[in-house]
Chains A and B, each alone.
Chain A
Amino acid sequence: MSTFPIAIPRPVHPTGLWNWITTIDHKKIGILYGVTAFIMFISGGIEATLMRVQLAQPELDIVSAAVYNQLFTMHGTTMIFLAIMPLGAAFFNFVIPLQIGARDVAFPRLNAFSYWTFLAGAVMLKLSWIGGATDAGWFGYAPLTSIDQNPGKGIDFWIISLQVLGVASLAASFNFIVTIINMRAPGMTMMRLPLFTWMSFITAILLILAFPVITVALIELTFDRYFDFNFFNVARGGSVVLWQHLFWVFGHPEVYILILPAMGIVSEVLPVFSKKPLFGYTTVVLAGAIIAVMGWMVWSHHMFTVGLGPVANAVFTITTMLIAVPTGIKVFNWIGTIWGGSIKINTPMAFALGFIAMFLIGGISGVMHAVSASDAQQQDTYFIPAHIHYVLFGGAIMALTSGIYYWFPKFSGRMYDEKMGMAHFWLMMIGQNVTFFPMHFVGLDGMPRRIYTYAEGMGWDLWNLVATLGVFILIAGFAIFILNMVKSWKSGPEAPGDPWDGRTLEWSIPSPPPEYNFKEIPVVRSLDDWWNTKQGGNVKEVPVAGGSGDEGHNIHLPQPSYWPLVTALGLFIAAYGVVFNQLFIPWAISIIGTFIGFVGVYAWSLEPVNDPDEDSAH
């Protein structure tokens, strides 16, 4: 095997911090993703709280109009790109290899690279608060982002960090597509895949097809800003509507990228705590696939008031209403699953049930503005934030929280505190409805979104105050959540391998899983294989592959590596160099960063996955 010309010894059995920095273990990367995303979620929550405090009463002056613009833009971008998407990625990482009976993902080092790149993008976006963050809204409509309208660095930070995050998401999605197709245990056919894995698979496919569209849109915007190109320059014939099309061709599949993993989690949790198989497994999978296809045909429902004409509006009204059908099917399947089951209500189950209720409300308000005529009234009012928060907070965040509790014993090896969990659930359930439901009222009453204050006597005072109070209920809920997590992770009672009497393969191994996951690669004979095995329906076969039963000493795991981190660091430096391209020598920082990145890629591709010398066995 060839090695990289620079003699840097490979990290061998690193400990402490280095262990985390050089890790390529999917479980550790999953935890890194989860913790980072949760910190980002808190930062987005602080931004939201500041906005709500500003709006608590008419004509307050707690934050200025300019800061307010930055707050809502950063809040949206943070929650979508730095919180919900990476929280999904945390679960992909931790759960999928365990569910399909694999020892790692297909490309462990690429996986580490995805995480470090995500971290680079997240840090970059958040640091843009120094000196003024982006303020053009999370969908950055042209020409608000043009250099004439918005000469500050905020927009540049937004563009470039989204590009960095895009690299991270794309790399992760390629990895998971290959992992799910190619690393299933023997007998794990596609139609025996657990639902969470299925939904993640669809999410990854959507992502690799949708993200390049926004990549192109952002490149065009970059060229307009940096080099005076004409893409969105109306004075030279450019069209600002092109940005909207490109953004929403990405943006609508993106909402399914956010919600499909959540749906997958709920489809795991409900059967386990109802002691019944998922009702209509095939239908749920198919509904997910239909959503993935139809998600491409509805983007213009974000643009009903742009003036695309009655034909376009009618077509997109119909497709948007149609796409509610597969989602509705799923809701019926979930209800069918719990119907007649022996239901056990604990924290993950409560959150999953809460998800159904909240997501249903968000879905219904969504169908309301699917009608273009009614959307003309609702466009840019508080009705839209009300809808999106029922879908993304009541939907995605509820389900992801359910997943955190559900898999907590698996990734920490300890049990969480059930009482605190339920307290978190009720505070969150009440808090979100108090916060977001009044937005429907003020929205229909004509209160525009994204205003930093409003005049007295508009009739919006009461409900704005109520919404602001709701935020503090949510904060209390999440305080309990953090307390619960920290305390239980440190000193909770030890968790058995299968605390929930689970159905899928991750529950067939100890908690937390050993580094190699499965001592013997399982042979899968049916859907919900682990459940059937426990019921005595499946006779466990002698496994075909894996270690020889000597506690995994013979199992070759990919070894830690520096290069994913070096590559991500190069990308980070290059990205900063693009924003500050006139610092020192023009573009020099970018070139240095790109060079470091290339060194990383070369060293990485020449580094063998396993150094033969380091192997103890064989």
Chain B
Amino acid sequence: MAQEHIATADHGEHEATTTGLNHRKMLMWAFLGSDCMFFGSLIATYLVYQGKSLSGPLPIDVFDIPVTSVSTFVLLMSSMSMVLAYSALNRGNMKAFRIWMVSTAIMGSTFIGFQIYEFSSFSTHHIHFECSEVAEKIEHGEYVKAGHNHFYQKECLDQNGILKADHHVDEEYGLKPQTNLFGTTFFTLTGFHGAHVTLGVVWLLSIFFLSFKKGVITREKNLDVDLAALYWHFVDVVWIVIFTVVYLFGVFEGF
């Protein structure tokens, strides 16, 4: 981010502004407002196409809520360590500041790691089941995932609709961006969020390394950290929305 100061006679780190708010801080707020519309449009696209995919896999087939909950938790915790880093800086405790800063970056990277794992596991998703299991579920009126039902109809029944006993299904059922509307919208939305997190990690690490240089990041010159923190929290909040709308709503029946 650009480091700019107004050019009045009384220049310095804490320049006089009309509102008393720092220029760069205000710039950051304006940027985040703009970024809200960016994610808003991506989420709107996702919602418009929700349930409109012409073929599987659907959210219910690929999502693994416990795994994503863990990565969500890690990202939320990174916000907390960001707060701790900033407060350590304001207390002038540089050692604690660096520790919290690097742990924030590590947690951010962990989240990205989870996302990479998730993307690759979705794209190589497999479906395997015993035909008899699904038949039993259907008999009892239990919910059968769309993907399972698809292959059950295709492979477990013969021409006359009779169940093939002892048959089992093992099919590739990967989700790629090209597969269907769900893949297209899901990878685009979460991918752009991931890009935001990645940029944030680069930013946090830059500050971390700069903090070893004397006088660059200090108790008095805490604005860079403040701005990075603002950005980081924003990215976190966006994830909460995505996790709720895409993941949690996605696994409800019927979606």
Contacts and interface: CB of A to CB of B under 8 A. Distances in A.
B216 to A, nearest CB: 6
Contacts of A107: 2, 4, 23, 27
A170 B45 contact: no
Interface string A77-108: 00000000000000000000000001110111
Nearest to A189: B18
B244 interface: no
A581 interface: no
B6 A209 contact: no
Interface stretch (A115-123, A219-227, A425-433): A219-227
B7 A213 contact: no
Contacts of A521: 8
A558 interface: yes
A104 B15 CA distance: 14
A556 B19 CA distance: 21
A188 to B, nearest CB: 8
Given A109-B4, A231-B184, A237-B52, A208 B30 contact: yes
B42 interface: yes
B2 A109 contact: yes
B9 A554 contact: yes
Contacts, number: 157
Interface in B206-228: 210, 213, 216
Contact of A208 (B34, B49, B180, B183): B34
A168 interface: no
Contacts of A230: 177-178, 180-181, 183-184
B208 to A, nearest CB: 15
B8 A246 contact: no
B48 A220 contact: no
A177 B35 CA distance: 16
B133 interface: no
A531 B38 CA distance: 43
Nearest to B42: A216
B180 A545 contact: no
Interface in A598-618: 601, 604-610
A557 interface: yes
B122 to A, nearest CB: 15
Given A110-B4, A229-B184, A237-B52, A545 B30 contact: no
Nearest to A231: B184
Nearest to A170: B34
A238 B181 contact: yes
B27 A237 contact: no
A227 B184 CA distance: 10
Contact of A228 (B1, B52, B178): B178
A556 B181 contact: no
A213 B39 CA distance: 9
A337 B2 CA distance: 43
A556 B48 contact: no
B207 to A, nearest CB: 11
Contacts of A555: 7-9
A605 B2 contact: yes
B92 interface: no
A180 B48 CA distance: 37
Contact of B54 (A229, A237, A610): A237
**B10, B33, B37, B49 — which one has the most chain A CB atoms within 10 A of its CB?**
B37
B228 to A, nearest CB: 12
A556 B38 CA distance: 37
A177 B45 contact: no
Given A183-B6, A554-B9, A609-B4, A242 B48 contact: yes
Given A106-B23, A230-B184, A237-B53, A208 B33 contact: yes
B188 interface: yes
Contacts of A236: 54, 180-181
B5 interface: yes
Given A181-B18, A182-B26, A212-B34, A103 B188 contact: no
B160 interface: no
A213 B8 CA distance: 37
B9 A181 contact: no
B31 interface: yes
B11 A556 contact: yes
Interface in A159-187: 170, 173-175, 177-178, 181-184
A177 B181 CA distance: 38
Interface in B146-184: 177-178, 180-181, 183-184
B157 to A, nearest CB: 26
A545 B8 contact: yes
Interface in B10-60: 10-11, 16-19, 21, 23, 26-27, 30-31, 33-35, 37-38, 40-42, 45, 48-49, 52-54
Contacts of A554: 9
A217 B41 CA distance: 8
A547 interface: yes
Nearest to A548: B9
Given A182-B19, A546-B9, A216 B38 contact: yes
B213 A2 contact: yes
B11 A209 contact: no
A182 B4 contact: no
B188 A229 contact: yes
Contacts of B48: 239, 242
Given A177-B30, A237-B54, 16 more contacts: A103-B6, A103-B7, A106-B4, A106-B27, A107-B27, A173-B30, A178-B27, A209-B37, A210-B37, A213-B41, A236-B54, A546-B9, A555-B7, A605-B2, A608-B3, A609-B7
A-B CB proximity, top 4 nearest: A216-B41, A212-B38, A212-B37, A208-B34
Interface of B: 1-11, 16-19, 21, 23, 26-27, 30-31, 33-35, 37-38, 40-42, 45, 48-49, 52-54, 177-178, 180-181, 183-185, 188, 192, 210, 213, 216
13 contacts: A104-B6, A108-B7, A178-B23, A181-B18, A182-B26, A211-B34, A213-B37, A223-B188, A228-B178, A229-B184, A242-B48, A246-B45, A545-B9
